[in-house]
Amino acid sequence: MTELFSVGDPIADTKAPDGPVETRWDRRRFSAKLVNPANKRKLSVIVVGTGLAGGSAAATLGELGYRVRSYCYQDSPRRAHSIAAQGGINAAKNYRNDGDSVHRLFYDTVKGGDFRSRESNVHRLAQVSVEIIDQCVAQGVPFAREYGGLLDTRSFGGAQVSRTFYARGQTGQQLLLGAYQALERQVAAGTVEMFTRHEMLELIVVDGRARGIVVRDMVTGEISTDLADAVVLASGGYGNVFFLSTNAKGCNVTATWRAHRKGALFANPCYTQIHPTCIPVSGDHQSKLTLMSESLRNDGRVWVPKKAGDDRAAADIPEDERDYYLERIYPAFGNLVPRDIASRAAKNVCDEGRGVGPGGLGVYLDFADAIGRLGRKAVEAKYGNLFEMYERITGEDPYTVPMRIYPAVHYTMGGLWVDYDLQSTVPGLFVIGEANFSDHGANRLGASALMQGLADGYFVLPNTIGDYLAAGPFERLAADNPEVAAARTAVEDRIAKLLAVNGDRTVDSFHRELGRIMWEYCGMERTDAGLRKAIDLIRGLREEFWQRVRVPGEGEGLNQALERAGRVADFFELAELMCVDALHRTESCGGHFRAESQTPEGEAERDDENFSYVAAWEFTGTGDAPVLHKEDLIFEYVHPTQRSYK
């Protein structure tokens, strides 16, 4: 295996404070250097991304007085993928008085991540969670309320308390509108300049510091450079490497991959979250999959027929011939086990021939009990828009026929390596939200991505970036600076190269094939032989891509095939690294299930002695063996045990 990678020096998070975990964030904030208000006006920050992480960060940095330039590829910051988030956002408010606390959220998250995240980061996240809700309520985010007017909560997987705040099935949209309003306020105030329909295609590094980006105006095709004192990437996750996923079609890895190629280490790329409740794949025509929010598992019961091959309609299968397998195997958490566990359990029953629907790749999510107990109106009030969406897509009415669901790629826990300050290994390059690897270990708990994105953007980054910027403003760079010019030329050359191939295969056909390889060999279950095969297939397909891809049109103007071609080219390189990471981690943990490492009951078996580390990968060249740097994980408060939800 060593020919596929080499092992370099270990890496340490030098910004992480020690001492009692409860006081670490306070102490880091106190020790971080401050920038006085007059100096902030002299400092500029580029923020790539306007989702919950980037939107909240740009708004907050603008409010602090920095000169911010904010970028997104959509036509409005409001269209960032965060808008798709349905179910909710966690916070340890304990409004329900059901035993929740900052410590419990911290505990649940470290355990839920299968002991592959940092205690310091996760504790900070749990602490900050309570401030997020206050911030959003003050902005006017319309969280659901109980009859008496108090904020309502519901339960999500991996927790036995009810700590998820929500706005029907549109939580991301409502939170994003809050962040967007804060952002627009700063745009009006002149502290934030907004660039929509601009795609970052390269990071500019000068004298070892991140100093800017190269962007393409997606409407005119113009390539330009933007220089600043620091760069923040909030560019989201890379689940679309699988082609089919619940992510918005535009989600891609280019911003972080370009930074990786310029020296930023990429951490735990193989940790992918496969969400258990998605509408099953229905044929080759599909280009994306649809999530049915995890919140549905509060009231929906998951089952399959007890007998393999039973193809009767759900209504014809009597109660005693149904297997509510999550309730049976995991009585303590039942339908609310974490996503990795629920997904694997669904795969297992389908592998046994007990799946339902076309191809046997589905399980039921049944609301009959909830409707009988609470009444249709109450169920409609909680989940109405999700039920409507399901009916529109499948043509079946989930109020009368159980939903059919199956796991699908949903979220990526891996991302650029960052220290406690959210700074990557390239000084001046900060990474926030789903784009970094920071808080979720090998499996993210439901409703914790929105929490992390807003924690990073509203609270963490605005406090930590000052420590770096206090040494600025940095030397003014001339437009003809060699490193700046080289970055720009590299982008122009790459675009010219893509256009020049002029082959006979569409970009999408390559992407679809890459996705199939990834799903087959680096999806829900991975094996040594499968991953090796995947690496060979990816390499072959990547070569073919550069010989046969057809990108019609030209670079000067709107060209969506060109946009996609650049993104798919980066996906090829990422895919290979994901497989190498998955191959080297011979244990199972969270979303990474190695078939060779399971307990006799078929549960994931970790190998703490050998793999209790963050795998941070260094780029050495396309197709060349990457270098692995290990960051040891230390657990002082939540001691690794075999996760049990029984």
Ligand X SMILES: Cc1cc2nc3c(=O)[nH]c(=O)nc-3n(C[C@H](O)[C@H](O)[C@H](O)COP(=O)(O)OP(=O)(O)OC[C@H]3O[C@@H](n4cnc5c(N)ncnc54)[C@H](O)[C@@H]3O)c2cc1C
| Residue ranges binding ligand X (CB under 6 A) | 48-54, 71-74, 80-82, 84-89, 171-172, 199-200, 234-237, 246-247, 251, 254-255, 291, 293, 410-411, 433-435, 447-450, 453
Residue 493 neighbours by CB under 8 Å, 6+ apart: none
CA-nearest of 454, 387, 410 to 130 is 454
**Residue at 639: amino acid letter:** H
Least distance to ligand X, CB of residue 121, Å: 16
> 44 or 254, CB closer to ligand X?
254
**40-43: which pairs have CB atoms within 8 A and are 24 or more residues apart?**
40/64, 40/65, 40/66, 40/469, 41/65, 41/66, 41/67, 42/67, 42/472, 42/473, 43/67, 43/229, 43/230, 43/469, 43/472, 43/473
Least distance to ligand X, CB of residue 199, Å: 4
In whole angstroms, give the CA distance from residue 62 to residue 465. 13
Least distance to ligand X, CB of residue 131, Å: 16
Least distance to ligand X, CB of residue 154, Å: 11
Q: How far is CA 44 from the centre of its chain?
A: 27
> 314 or 389, CB closer to ligand X?
389
> 447 or 455, CB closer to ligand X?
447
DSSP state, residue 197? S
> 200 or 429, CB closer to ligand X?
200
Residue 149 neighbours by CB under 8 Å, 6+ apart: none
Helix (H, G, I), strand (E, B) or coil at 359: helix
Least distance to ligand X, CB of residue 477, Å: 21
Q: Spell out a b/e string for 493-514, using b for 16 or more CB atoms within 10 Å of the CB, else e.
A: eebeebbebeeeebbeebbbbb
> 264 or 534, CB closer to ligand X?
264
Do residues 57 and 457 lie in contact, with contact meaning Cβ atoms separated by under 8 Å? yes
> 67 or 69, CB closer to ligand X?
69
Angle at CA of residue 540, ends 537 and 542, nearest 5°:
105
Beta bridge partners of 69: 46, 193
Least distance to ligand X, CB of residue 634, Å: 27
> 66 or 71, CB closer to ligand X?
71
> 94 or 129, CB closer to ligand X?
129
CA distances from 453 to 129, 156, 195, 204, 450 (A): 11, 18, 21, 25, 5
Least distance to ligand X, CB of residue 322, Å: 28
> 294 or 419, CB closer to ligand X?
294
> 49 or 360, CB closer to ligand X?
49
Least distance to ligand X, CB of residue 57, Å: 9
HSE at residue 275, side-chain half, CA atoms within 13 A, is 30
In whole angstroms, give the CA distance from residue 431 to residue 240. 19
Least distance to ligand X, CB of residue 404, Å: 18
In whole angstroms, give the CA distance from residue 594 to residue 608. 14
| 289, burial (CB in 10 Å: exposed 0-12, middle 13-18, buried 19+) | buried
Cis omega (within 30 of 0) for bond into 407: no
In whole angstroms, give the CA distance from residue 335 to residue 156. 10
CA-nearest of 12, 13, 25 to 106 is 25
Show which residues are catalytic: 339
> 293 or 559, CB closer to ligand X?
293
In whole angstroms, give the CA distance from residue 241 to residue 572. 8
Structure tokens at 359: 């191809």
Do residues 405 and 282 lie in contact, with contact meaning Cβ atoms separated by under 8 Å? no
> 86 or 588, CB closer to ligand X?
86
Least distance to ligand X, CB of residue 164, Å: 8
Q: How many CB atoms lie within 10 A of CB 587?
A: 21
CA-nearest of 420, 337, 364, 513 to 25 is 420
Structure tokens at 528: 């040594």
Least distance to ligand X, CB of residue 245, Å: 7
Going 41 to 46 to 51 to 57, the CA torsion angle's sign is: negative
Helix (H, G, I), strand (E, B) or coil at 643: coil
Least distance to ligand X, CB of residue 55, Å: 7
Going 447 to 448 to 452 to 458, the CA torsion angle's sign is: positive
CA-nearest of 610, 615, 602 to 640 is 610
